[in-house]
Chains A and B, each alone.
Chain A
């Protein structure tokens, strides 16, 4: 954990929404989640500095999505404590944005892309009040940001997988949060969308925001992330990407899955000490 403390000290001060510079952006202690008495996550401890793009990697069933959902209080956790910028999550809810997995919603639902993006503003609009033109304009700007301005009035089932992911991202952008959790934003998207999304994530980091991304493709880990959480029901390793993304840690994370490991070892060929 020493690595963490030294990492990104300077950018820490930019942490938007954080009253003091010292506390980590995300602080998790002893987080344990169990489904039907079967533990899915054990004793998760995390300290992540602000203004980083952090990857969460691990094999299938490692609990990556569950980790995000537990942090966001979407699944009940047996024990544990989550703080965002030094304060309990419940108080900081409004400065946290979330991009769920694309498959988690019904894409035949009768709404347009713009209406979907505007959902990110509902919290600001508040109970009972309708979505006015001013808010629609905000949503349109966000769509422009992700290169989807031409598709505002399309029904969402008539968008490609990459386009759907882009409007999900746009919805998160209008939330104007300080910290984002994204569940597999690169799943099933085309190469150009992946690049576009990544550019936006880096821009968010430049603005001092902290972004967590559940990720599958080990080959791009080193290029995409500055912070990495390697997960397999517990935290195998966490820290600056360049330091924890090692063959040793990969082996511990992915266990005996050799073919996968071979590909990964190829991918990190250059970083072995």
Chain B
């Protein structure tokens, strides 16, 4: 078994190699086109188009059988699928335009009516003399085993063509999926781009029919980009990551299905990409649940630290002496701490080396802590003033707003605030004293 797995994964057989090439290219095309489909918020259209392909496949099969031609010719069956897929898309647009039904309902109707019609055609095929519907099963569940070399090459190269086209039109697709109104005003043929993108979607769907199956082909277009979304905020990177996930899913899925032909390849591919999605959902670098939770935790700790440092600094200011330890009672009285909150804050600051306990429950800022406390207090006051001067926030609300935002702002905004405020001219009486740039000692 292991030996076989290795042979399959290393693409030892020519046939496996060709099939894997087809499925991987399909995964890449799905990943790339899917990003734009997802951002255009039309994900379910792909689902409907996939289902709508069934009557096309079955119809083509019937016609070919009736005419006595080879009914298993993939290009001709896919042509049928392409025609009914496009017809289905047209129906949705038409229902949308002519009735008050929502786009969703239009999709549902088109999907079910086309699919039902396809099932009826399958029924007819079973009753026809001289027809064997054996090959059609793979279109519903997806089966790479039935894929012959020419099929895989057709799928692979057509998918490659789609990817190349999307890459050439990257800039145009980005503009149109982000801001259709602006694109139209700028003179781009947005309807043309719309039709183009949707045709590419239909193209990927049709190519995916044999490997992934009608019901699941949508997954090739949706799951990879949805997973890629967790890793980046850049469109180019998202397209790249999505393509990699699609390719990996296709590769692993095709390999597994080559070893266990009873398993529907489509389902295996979807499960593989699905687990990659799950992994991304949790561990994706920019929007994953775990990194976000870690960030939130860090922010909470930082907020606590800032509170205690500022508190100590302001207490020192009040007695014009930063070298005297402040007792815990003073600290507790100077702001509304929860009991645990204050203890935790002190602990955090102590561990960071910003303060030390000089005598029983009284604390003094270390040299490092004093510099940090000065910086924080300064930021905080700048921000308060900014809000007062520029954002028409009533003075009584300033503290709350500032307490939060201060920790989020980086140095770049603080620098901008200083520039826009010309702080030297501010009178000390405005809200608080503004600590001078250098002198920590007063």
Contact = CB atoms under 8 A, between A and B. Distances in A.
Interface of A: 69, 72-74, 93-94, 96-100, 104-106, 109-112, 115-116, 119-120, 122-123, 125, 127-131, 150, 155, 171, 175, 181, 190-192
Interface in B276-325: none
Interface of B: 39, 41, 168-172, 174-175, 177-179, 181-182, 184-188, 229, 232-235, 238, 390-392, 412, 416, 420
Contacts of A112: 233-234
B286 to A, nearest CB: 9
A73 B186 CA distance: 11
Tell me what chain A mostly uses at the interface: helix, strand, loop, or mixed.
Answer: mixed
Contacts of B172: 122, 127
A98 B182 contact: yes
Contacts of A150: 412, 416
Contacts of B170: 130
Given A123-B186, A190-B391, A155 B175 contact: no
9 contacts: A74-B181, A93-B187, A96-B185, A110-B235, A112-B234, A115-B235, A127-B172, A150-B416, A190-B391
B250 to A, nearest CB: 23
A112 B318 CA distance: 45
Contact of B178 (A109, A131, A155): A109
Given A73-B184, A110-B229, A181-B185, 8 more contacts: A98-B185, A100-B179, A109-B235, A110-B234, A115-B235, A116-B178, A119-B174, A128-B168
Contacts of A129: 171
Given A110-B229, A111-B234, A128-B169, A104 B175 contact: no
B175 A191 contact: no
A110 B238 contact: yes
Given A127-B172, A191-B392, A106 B178 contact: yes
Nearest to A36: B100
Contacts of A171: 182
A122 B238 contact: no
Nearest to B174: A111
A272 to B, nearest CB: 29
Given A100-B179, A111-B178, A190 B390 contact: yes
Contacts of B188: 122-123
B183 to A, nearest CB: 8
